[in-house]
Amino acid sequence: MKTHNHMLTPFNFAGLGKKRAQWSTAGVAVIPVPYDLTTSYRSGTRSGPLAIIEASTHMELFDDEINAEIADVGICTLNLVEPVTSSPDKMISRVAGVVSSVIREDKFPVVLGGEHSITLGAVTALSSRFPDFGVVQLDAHADLRDQYQGSKYNHACIGRRISERFPLTQIGIRSLCSEEHLFLENSGISTYYSGDIYGNSSWIEPCVANLPETIYITIDLDVLDPSIMPSVGTPEPGGLLWYDVLYLLRTLAEKKTIIGFDIVELCPMPSNPAPDFLAAKLCYKLIGYCKQSSIASRQTPI
């Protein structure tokens, strides 16, 4: 596989050995992108991908919900994608190139950030193979500014750029500026605010029913409540909890075709590794939901 410049990754996701982590047989490719050029509060999300991968090496591989080792699908971990620091749009192009090389080989792309701007690279690449899909954004922030800090490709603009090309559904939103509020009124974007969905699940069925049949999922970890996910650059109170998110993701996987996902904006705190492990477990669970039929057909003896 020929891709852009990379730096070595010291771990395989989930600590997998050669048999289940080799490129030739893997069904899933983990793409770590250590990039945070446009972060605007707490920097450090460049360290997120390696923190997730390292934490994942301490997970149990058997999943009691799926009743199998999710790793049986084969999970190849690519080397770190080397950041481009000249401009975020060039970094987005680099991510698009790497994701394109992954999907050309029929691998399921899982992108680990890094800041949220990298999502645009992933969905751009996927649009060459999947002309009609929607994007589901789990996030505390609307990210719908037209530009921020002099750039249209700042992490605060990622929702706006996606919505210009793909149907966009936002879930967990609880922070936006007046510009974003006005834009939403006539945007056609479906937005589910955290305060409106708290304590009930009745919104999930109509939300899922209104989505396109094929979707990409982007998870900004600040969608989660800071009580369980304090390690983000811009924490917001009032977020979703672990089982809320799992129920939503499981429902999406059951009802729709997911063509890839990313998990972004982890800002690790060395004094508290629990959020790193949460992010790793969330990634592993979502791989399981997305590839459950493949896991069942490829199970190997433990």
pLDDT of residue 300: 53
* Between residues 250 and 297, the one the model is more confident about: 250
Q: Residue 255 burial by CB count (10 A; 0-12/13-18/19+): exposed, middle or buried? A: middle
106, 79 Cβ separation under 8 angstroms: no
Cβ distance 71 to 20 under 8 Å? yes
pLDDT tens, position by position, 144-179: 999 998 899 999 999 999 999 999 999 999 999 999
Domains of the chain: 6-298 (3.40.800.10)
Averaged confidence pLDDT in the chain: 94
pLDDT digits (tens, 9 = 90+) for 180-221: 999 999 999 999 999 999 999 999 999 999 999 999 999 999
pLDDT at residue 2 is higher than 80: no
Is the model's pLDDT at 4 over the cut of 60?
Answer: no
The H-assigned helical ranges of 58-203 are 88-104, 119-126, 158-163, 178-185, 194-197
The number of C-alpha atoms within 13 Å of 262 and in the hemisphere containing its C-beta is 31
In this predicted structure, the answer to whether residue 41 has a pLDDT above a threshold of 70 is: no
Q: What's the mean pLDDT in 76-100?
A: 95
Which pLDDT value is given to residue 302?
45
Q: Other CB atoms closer than 10 Å to residue 166's CB: what's the count?
A: 19
